[in-house]
Amino acid sequence: MIELQTFKSDLTKTRFAKNDKDPFNLNDGEISVKIERFAFTANNVTYGVAGETIGYWQFFPASEDPNNKWGCIPMWGFAEISHSRVEGLEVGERIFGYFPAANYLILNPAKIIDRSFSDGKDHRKELPPVYNNYVRLSGEENYDSSMDNIRALLFPLHVTAFCLCDALQDESYLGASQIIIISASSKTAIGLAQGLADKNDAPKIIGLTSASNSDFVTSLGCYDEVITYDELDQVDCSQGSVMVDMAGNRDILGTLHGALGDNMLKCLTVGMTHWDNKTTAEDVLGQAMLRDRTEFFFAPAHIQKRIGDWGHEGYSEKTNIFMAARALQSRDWMQLKEISGLEEFIKTYEEVVAGNINPNEGIIVLI
């Protein structure tokens, strides 16, 4: 098995490694799956940045790594069962879920039902259940294979967008007059803004973006106002504000925190696409961030809370409605880009990690 690995302390460095485990020689209770395709977005960069703190490196331990320096960034995608030693899971069945950037993966299915199963490998048992779940497409009602690429791209992002919308509405938006979304061109931000725009009680939605992406963000029609990063003085800092940060750029955050002062009610940090933007003791803007009002928004925790509140069926019904609406809207702005093979993918990977992202492009890697 071949896997693409990333150097944990420097996301710009990658290598290929071989896993000596034979995907065709399985133990009882195992299946091997041939990975067909996966999506790659700025969200995956966040997985790499938060790999140690949140545990993303633990899902797929890197091969040929005695010093624990390399990791496999998780991807959302599709695979087909190639070999099986599990009754009821047959060769040829297709699944959707969490995979490494590799050609094969060996799983230990547990909690098997018609619609899904979980990977029961020991190293994944303490990790968030939402990431261990695999959807059995043969058991999914109204499954449409023509939506596979959109699903791989938007499912994880729009689940987060749904959770953000729900959490904000549940807290009555903390009484804010405006919600400021940083990196408004990101797919999660777009899903959030579209979801908020559907709510009658939502505050004003402000999208912050680069000058180069301003026209695109404005054309989406889900932001009440679009402001570029070089025009932050146009933000109305006299209004109670909730910030949702998809970028992690400390210069922008520090500027806004300082200008808003007590009017900054909360800052939810979601993504870290500006992963190399560090705060130092001399970084005045970074130090201006109001840490006591800043928290990392971890969607899996909110998912578990809502499953407890609504049950699995209630949660699925609400998220499916939200994501179906977002998927339809994405057809108006997203262009799919398919890349064949992991070696070809490296060039695109480097571009995305460097921050060179075409906002209306959806990247799909075919294995």
Mean pLDDT, residues 314-328: 91
**In this predicted structure, what is the pLDDT of residue 19?**
84
Question: How many angstroms separate the CA atoms of 199 and 249, rounded?
Answer: 28
pLDDT, average across residues 72-81:
98
**Helix 299-330 vs helix 148-170: angle between axes, to the nearest 10 degrees?**
120
Taking only the tens place, the pLDDT of each residue in 246-257 is 887 888 998 999
Strand partners, 363: 40, 337
So what's the pLDDT on residue 39? 97
Specify the higher pLDDT residue, 99 or 276.
Answer: 99
Predicted confidence (pLDDT) per residue in 19-39, tens digit: 888 888 999 999 999 999 999
pLDDT in tens, 152-211: 999 989 999 999 999 999 999 999 999 999 999 999 999 999 999 999 999 999 999 999
User: Which of 359, 360, 339, 351 has the alpha carbon at shortest distance from 12?
Assistant: 351
Which residue has better confidence, 286 or 133?
A: 133
pLDDT-derived band of residue 271, with 50, 70 and 90 as boundaries? low
The residues with which 228 forms a beta bridge, in sequence order, are: 209
Apex CA 40: angle with CA 349 and CA 143, to 5°? 155
- Mean pLDDT of all residues in 217-242: 97
pLDDT of residue 284 exceeding 90: no
pLDDT tens, residue by residue, 327-359: 899 988 999 999 999 999 999 999 999 888 889
pLDDT at residue 285, as a whole number: 35
Residues 6+ apart with CB under 8 A from 82: 23, 24, 32, 33, 34, 91, 104
Task: Report the pLDDT value the prediction gives residue 261, as an integer from 0 to 100.
Answer: 93
Flag whether pLDDT at 85 surpasses 70: yes
- pLDDT for 281 equals 32
Residue 274 confidence (pLDDT) = 39
pLDDT at position 160 is 93
Is there a contact between 210 and 228 (Cβ–Cβ < 8 Å)?
Answer: yes
Share above pLDDT 90 across residues of the chain, in percent, rounded to a whole number: 75
Of 70-79, 285-294, 322-331, give the lowest mean pLDDT range.
Answer: 285-294
> Average pLDDT, stretch 259-267?
94
- What are the structural domains, with CATH classification, of the chain? 2-143+334-366 (3.90.180.10), 157-299 (3.40.50.720)
pLDDT value at residue 283: 41
Q: Please report the pLDDT score of residue 247 as a whole number.
A: 81
pLDDT value at position 356?
A: 85
Burial (Cβ within 10 Å: 0-12, 13-18, ≥19) of residue 329? middle
